[in-house]
Chain A
Amino acid sequence: MSLRPATAASKADVVLPPPTERYPLLGWVWKHLFTPWHNALLTVLALGLLYLLAVPFAQWALTQARWEVVVVNLRLLLIGQYPLEQVWRLWLSVHVLAFVAGLTIGSTVRAGLWRAVPILAAPWALALVADFDLATRAHLGALPVVGLVAFVLGRLGHVYVRRHVIGLWVIYFPLFILLVRGLTAEEGWLPVVPTNVWGGLVLTFVLTVAGIIFSFPIGVLLALGRRSNLPLVRWASVVYIELVRGVPLVTILFMAQIMLPLFLPSNVTIDRVLRAVVGIVLFTAAYQAENVRGGLQAISRGQYEAAYALGLNSLQTNLFIILPQALRNVIPVLVGQFIALYKDTSLVAIVGLLDLLGIAKSVLAQPAYIGTQREVYLFISAIYWLFSYVMSYLSQRLEKALGVGER
């Protein structure tokens, strides 16, 4: 700290920035990449390595790769063997999603809206470039319109919409399941589509969202149970958490698919997708319990004491004081676990469900597409990455939104 009074600085004292900072880009490159000399060496080496990797990849991707395997099988990869005449139900659910997302963004987001432009442009670009039938193109073309209309509605009624949009998100997944699964027998308006034809990205989506929705509350309850004063509750939680964390997810999925039916009476059958969901939920809940417990332990005793001293009971204390703080502190870990869950749903391919990975494997089994592993796996990797990134991005937004008022 300088002891010189601030008034002593006159115009003569104004110091020009050092030369490197007067030319921002060049200066930055020079400062970070080329000084001292061994950084320059590393920069050159890294560029060389990048060149060696990128050029052959680009050559392969642009000239040799047989991308038609992805194009031809795109419908399979995205929706599996979902009956064609019922596909409108999937489209409807996507439109509803775009509508709810549009309402949400319109009523809450004020800055940085340019980031939505590529998302809006993507369906149109896809409709123009790819070789889809007319109906698909119409749906793709309508998606951004639906999103924009919802955005405008959200902005116009933002006070009202902001308060109720959470409710829409809450009912979205049940609505989605209702649309995908159907309601009535064969001939009705929404005939049931059995889960054995669910597949591709739709199945991955179902497994992921159901896994997240159900594992989270169970994980919170287990975390609270492990810290409970009641010995029975505490020990039950500890035993459950440690037992499940000691077993690989694949084992749990195998148990659910193959062993469970052995113990059930022969006339009782549980849906295969449901069994996979239960396995994923039970597995993830044990991990989330420990993540939440980490957050709970960071809350000082004084918070409990202040709440109890005001007359709050332990349910109210946890609900209003402890959990909001504890969960906010562990958002990055919680979302990390959900991203892991999303990617781990690919393990259901091993027990014979045709999720994104399972469908990819069956596509590769067709004689016409032998030797196209690289293309297919790259494509599904890109899909996995895309949604993982979306989750990660949303969690950062959430952290910022909830971080208001932090010291």
Chain B
Amino acid sequence: MYSEKVMDHFSNPRNVGEIENADGIGQVGNPKCGDIMKVYLKIENDIIVDVKFKTFGCGAAVATSSMATELIKGKTLEEASKITNKAVLEALGGLPPAKVHCSVLAEEAVTAAINDYRRKQGLEIENQLCDGCCG
């Protein structure tokens, strides 16, 4: 049911872990719904120099987290905030329909981490997020 690319990112997820003293941390999802994603960002001169994630969730949730972190690493904050769930989906070669919400979660986790950074820097927050089950 999953593409090879999804299974590759699930079995060898990129950028798993934590960043100590991260500049931005975002956590979205809800244990009730069965998936939570947490993204840590290290930011220098508006560029995401490092990113790590932790995910509680299904195969698709892990794979989309992994792919999303790959896509934003090395990007400017502006570039990173433009990466949508569609881009994550495309990069993974698609997901079964019931799993598309996982890619939304990945986009939101990145947005939440960027928002956290902007909040800490006293900057304006561009994208507001919903709470709870965003599926």
- Our verdict on whether A and B bind, yes or no, reads no
A contact set with B: CB distance below 8 Å: none
B contact set with A: CB distance below 8 Å: none
